[in-house]
Amino acid sequence: MKVVIDAARCQGHGRCFSLAPAVFGYDELGNGLVLGDGVLDADGLELARLAEANCPEHAISIGES
Amino acid sequence: MTIEKAPVHDFASDWDHSDPEWVKDPYPIWDDLRQRCPVAHTERYGGGWFPATHAGVSAVANDTEHFTSRTVVIGNGRPMEDALPAPIGVAPPITSDPPFHQIARRLILPAFAPGPVNALEPMIRSLCSDLLERVAGQEVINASSDYAQFIPPSVIKRMLGFPEQDEDLFREFVHVILEGIDEPVEERIEKFAPIEAYFQAQIEEHAQNPREDLTTFLMNAEILGEKLEPQHVAGTMILVLVAGIDTTWSAIGASLWHLAQNPQDLERLVNEPDLMPFAIEEFLRFYAPVTMARLVKQDMEFLGCSMKQDDWILLGFPAANRDPAVLERAGEFIIDRKENRHLAFGLGIHRCAGSNLARLELRVAIEEFIKRYPRFELAEPSAVTWAAGQVRGPRSIPIRVA
C-alpha cells in the first residue's frame, strides 16, 4: 500500500507529521510531505491510517502501490 | 459605553453571540439550531447568518468566491472600502482574499513552521514553570489570571521583539479589538488610535535597532522585489499579537477547567503520557475557542438562505466540531479519541497560521501544570467567567491545588 498527500488540499494543519513522523514530514511552509516513496509496511500503514483519519482537509489517501 | 440591546428570545431568528446565555454556555443553543435551522439568522449587527452544522461551516470556509475575509470580527459597523486598503486588508493574511492572500501567507508561514516553533519549547517550559513558582504554596490558584493569561503574551512579545514590560498593554489591546463589539463605531475607532500608535512606535524603534525578530523580518521582507506596504507590516504585526494571545490563553484555560472537574481524565493524563497528543486535540475540538466571520460578497441564495451583500457570516468552527453528523459521540469529551478531524484552527486557505505554536504552548502549559499538581479541583465553580465575542475561554478559574 502507498500513501499520498494531495498538495492542493493540504493546508498545513500538521496532524499527519505530528501523529506519524515515521511516515510524514513537512516543507518550509509547514505543509505535510510523504517521506520517501510512500510505500508502507504494516507499521507504516497503521500510522498512515491514523493520520488519514485526523486530516481536517481530507488530503491524505492510501491506495494500492 | 455599550449599546443597549434587547434580550434574545429565539436564537434561530435573532442570534447574538454576545448574549449572556450564549456567552455562558453556547453548546445547547448550537445543538438546538443544528436540528431546527440549520442556518440561523439575525438582524443584529446589520444582518447576519450562523450555520450551525459542519456542512454549513465547511461550505462557507471553502468558498472564497462568494465570501470575503475583509473583516473577520463582527461589529456594529460595516467596513468601509476606503478604510481597508485593497487587496491587503487591515491584518494580512487573515483579512486578505485570493490571490493576494497566498502571497501574504507564504511570507509568514516559515516563521510558524514546526522547525522554528519547536525551538521555542525550552523557553515556554521555563516560562510555565516560573509562573507556577510565583504562586507556589497557595492552596487556591487562578489557572487563568495567575497562569494561562501570561503564557501567550510572553511568547508573542519575544517573537515580535517588543519590550518586556508591555505585556499588560497587549492584553488591553486584544480586549479592545475582540471584546468591544457592542460599542458604537466612533468609540471603537477612537480606542484603536493608541493601538496603531503603539505599533508605529515599535516599527520606528526596530528601524533604529534592527534585530532577529518577526518585526524586523516583516520590515525587510519583499514581494516581487518591493518592500511591503507600511500598513501590511503593521497589520501583520497586529494580527500576530491579537490572534496569538487570547486564543491560546483560552485553550489553555478551558483545558485546565475541564481537568479540574473531571478527575478521571486528569488521572489518566498524569498516568498515561502517551495520551497527550490525543487529549490535546480533544481539548481543541471540544473547547475550540475561535469563531471567525466572513462577509457576503453579493446578494445570493446560499444554503437555502437569501443572503444580501455585506451580511455577516458567523463561522462557528466550535459548533461544527460538535456536529453528530460527522462525528460519533460528538457531544462527549473523550480524552483518548483517536479519530478527530476537528476544525479548531479553521478549514481551507485561512487555516490558523499559528497552529503549531498554539499546540506547543497548550501542551507544555498542561504538562507543566499537571507535573506540579497531579491532583486539583475547581475551587469555586460559580466564579468561573467566560469571555464574550468570537474567542471563547474562561477568564477566571479558581483551582484548589492543595
Q: Where are the domains of chain B?
A: 11-400
Chain A residue with minimum CA distance to B275: A19
d(CA B365, CA B384): 19
Query: Options 3.40.50.150, 1.10.10.10, 3.40.830.10, 1.10.630.10; which CATH number does B11-400 get?
Result: 1.10.630.10
B51: phi then psi, degrees, rounded to nearest 5: -75, 125
pLDDT at B2: 62
In B, residues 364-393, which contact A (CB 8 Å cutoff)? Answer: none
Of A15-19, A42-46, B29-33, B388-392, where does mean pLDDT reach its minimum?
Answer: B388-392
| ipTM of the complex in this document | 0.97
Separation in Å, CA of B115 to nearest CA in chain A: 9
Torsion of CA B331, B332, B334, B337, to 10 degrees: -30
Nearest to A56 among B113, B342, B356 (CB): B342
Query: Options 3.40.50.300, 3.30.70.20, 3.30.720.200, 3.50.50.60; which CATH number does A2-63 get?
Result: 3.30.70.20
Nearest to A30 among B113, B277, B343 (CB): B113
Rounded mean pLDDT, A36-45: 96
User: Which residues, at least 6 apart from A18, have a Cβ–Cβ distance to it below 8 Å?
Assistant: B277, B359
Q: Which residues of A touch B106 (CB under 8 A)?
A: 29
In B, residues 89-128, which contact A (CB 8 Å cutoff)? Answer: 106, 109-110, 112-114
Q: Is A29 on the interface with B (CB under 8 A)?
A: yes
Chain A residue with minimum CA distance to B105: A29
Does the pLDDT of residue A28 top 90, yes or no?
yes
A8-12: Cβ within 8 A, 24+ apart: A9/A57, A9/A58, A9/A59, A10/A57, A10/A59, A11/A56, A11/A57, A11/A59, A11/B347, A11/B348, A11/B349, A11/B351, A12/B109, A12/B351, A12/B355
B58-90, pLDDT tens digit by residue?
999 999 999 999 889 898 776 655 555 566 778
A12/B347 Cβ within 8 A: no
Helical ranges in B16-120 per DSSP H: 20-24, 27-36, 54-61, 100-108, 114-118
Nearest to A29 among B110, B281, B338 (CB): B110
Q: Which residues of B touch A54 (CB under 8 A)?
A: 281, 339-341
B356/A28 Cβ within 8 A: no
B317-353, pLDDT tens digit by residue?
999 999 999 999 999 999 999 999 999 999 999 999 9
pLDDT at B85: 59
pLDDT at B41: 98
pLDDT at B3: 66
A18/B113 Cβ within 8 A: no
Positions in chain B whose pLDDT score sits under 70: 1-3, 78-87
Separation in Å, CA of A49 to nearest CA in chain B: 10
Q: Is A35 on the interface with B (CB under 8 A)?
A: no
Q: Is A14 on the interface with B (CB under 8 A)?
A: yes
A56/B341 Cβ within 8 A: yes
A57/B114 Cβ within 8 A: no
**Rounded alpha-carbon distances, angstroms, from residue B179 to B50, B52, B159:** 19, 22, 24
